C-alpha cells in the first residue's frame, strides 16, 4: 500500500483542520515608540510602516490593538533630553511613564500594557545602565535604577514590566522593589536570552540611540545556547513570570530549548531588523509580504513561543481573517 500524506494537504480547509500550529491575534504584542515633543507621528525610515508616536496617537494605536484582539502593547519612550543616568526613565513626568498612564487609562484591562524597563533610550551614552569610573556598565548600580524605574512604571499603570538590560540579578531586585511598594500583581517579563545582535539596527534609529560601540559585555554571544538556558533558569528562580528570547528568527533553536525547559510562558521578539528585511525584500518584489510575514510568525510559534512581539501585529488579524 502506498502511503499518501498528501491527502491532508489537498485543499485549504483540510490543511487548516490539521494544522499543528495556529497564529491568533491574542498571541501577539505590538511594540510602539512614543517620542517626546512630537506634534504628529514621525515615520521611521529604516522600519517601513512604523512610526514614532505622539501621546495622542499612541492612545489611538492602543485602541486599535484592542479592536484587533491583540494580546498586548509594549511601550518604548524616546525622550528629548538624555543624561548619564537616564533620569527621564524614573521621572513620573517622563515620556514613557506619561504614555503608560495615558494608554492604561484608555484601555484599562482590555489590553495588556507592557513597559520596556531599560535605560538605553534615556542615557546620553546609549548603554543600558550607568557607567563606572572604568568606563564599564555598573551592574549593581544599574539594578537599583531598574528597580526605581519598574516601580514608576507600575505606578503609571503597566501590567507588565520588562527588564531588557541583561544585568545579573535584575529580576530579583525588581521583584523585591515592586513587592515592597505593594505592586505584588505586577508581572515581570524578563529578557532572559537577549543577544548582542546586528538585527537591532533599525530599533536604534527608532529610539534615536546615542550608543557608541556595542553591548557585548552584557548582552549574549550569538555562539552560545547553554549560557541562555542558564540565564533563563536564573531569571525564573529570581521570580520572572515570563521569559523572553530576543531576537527570534535567528534564534529559533533557543526559543525551542527555552520552551522545553521553562516552567513559565516564553515570549520571543521578532526584532526590527527581522521585520525590516522582510519589508525590504517585499518592496523589491522578491517575496510576498503577507505570506512571508505570516510564515515567519508561525515559525516562531512552532518553535514554542507562547507570546510573540512583532511590528506586524496589527496586520495579522486582517491577513488571517
Q: Are 62 and 3 in contact (CB under 8 A)?
A: no
With a CB cutoff of 8 Å and minimum separation 6, the contacts of 321 are none
E strands present in 61-156: 72-78, 112-117
Tell me the sheet residues that pair with 32. Answer: 75
Which one from 194, 251, 267, 304 is the annotated catalytic residue?
Answer: 194
Q: Is 82 a catalytic residue?
A: no
Which one from 246, 258, 296, 315 is the annotated catalytic residue?
Answer: 246
Number of helical H runs and strand E runs in the chain: 11, 10
Tell me the sheet residues that pair with 53. Answer: 34
Rounded to 5, what percent of the chain is helix, strand, coil?
45, 15, 40
Helical H segments across 184-309, by residue range? 201-206, 226-238, 252-261, 272-283, 289-303
Q: Which of 65, 83, 85 is nearest to 75 (CA)?
A: 65
CA distance 152 to 163: 13
Looking at the annotation, which residues are catalytic? 194, 246
Amino acid at each position: 500500500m502506498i502511503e499518501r500524506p498528501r491527502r491532508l494537504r489537498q485543499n485549504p480547509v483540510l490543511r487548516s483542520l490539521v494544522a499543528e500550529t495556529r497564529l491568533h491575534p491574542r498571541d501577539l504584542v505590538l511594540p510602539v515608540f512614543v517620542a517626546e515633543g512630537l506634534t504628529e507621528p514621525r515615520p521611521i525610515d529604516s522600519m517601513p510602516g512604523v512610526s514614532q508616536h505622539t501621546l495622542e496617537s499612541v492612545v489611538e494605536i492602543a485602541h486599535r490593538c484592542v479592536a484587533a484582539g491583540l494580546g498586548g502593547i509594549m511601550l518604548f519612550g524616546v525622550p528629548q533630553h538624555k543624561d548619564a543616568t537616564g533620569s527621564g526613565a524614573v521621572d513620573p513626568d517622563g515620556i514613557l511613564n506619561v504614555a503608560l498612564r495615558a494608554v492604561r487609562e484608555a484601555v484599562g484591562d482590555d489590553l495588556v500594557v507592557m513597559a520596556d524597563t531599560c535605560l538605553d533610550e534615556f542615557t546620553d551614552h546609549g548603554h543600558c545602565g550607568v557607567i563606572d569610573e572604568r568606563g564599564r556598565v555598573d551592574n549593581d548600580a544599574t539594578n537599583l535604577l531598574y528597580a526605581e524605574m519598574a516601580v514608576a512604571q507600575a505606578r503609571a499603570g503597566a501590567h507588565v514590566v520588562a527588564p531588557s538590560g541583561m544585568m545579573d540579578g535584575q529580576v530579583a531586585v525588581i521583584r523585591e522593589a515592586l513587592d515592597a511598594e505593594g505592586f505584588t500583581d505586577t508581572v515581570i517579563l524578563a529578557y532572559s536570552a537577549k543577544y548582542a545582535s546586528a538585527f537591532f539596527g533599525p530599533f536604534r534609529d527608532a529610539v534615536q540611540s546615542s550608543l557608541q560601540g556595542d553591548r557585548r559585555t552584557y548582552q549574549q554571544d550569538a555562539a552560545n545556547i547553554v549560557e541562555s538556558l542558564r540565564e533563563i533558569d536564573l531569571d525564573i528562580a529570581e521570580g520572572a513570570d515570563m521569559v523572553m528570547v530576543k531576537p527570534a528568527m535567528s534564534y529559533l533553536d533557543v526559543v525551542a530549548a527555552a520552551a522545553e525547559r521553562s516552567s513559565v510562558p516564553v515570549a520571543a521578539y521578532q526584532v526590527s531588523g527581522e521585520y525590516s528585511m522582510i519589508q525590504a525584500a517585499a518592496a523589491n518584489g522578491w517575496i510576498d509580504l503577507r505570506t512571508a510575514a505570516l510564515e515567519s510568525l508561525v515559525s516562531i510559534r512552532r518553535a514554542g513561543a507562547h507570546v510573540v512581539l512583532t511590528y506586524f501585529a496589527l496586520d495579522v488579524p486582517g491577513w488571517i481573517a
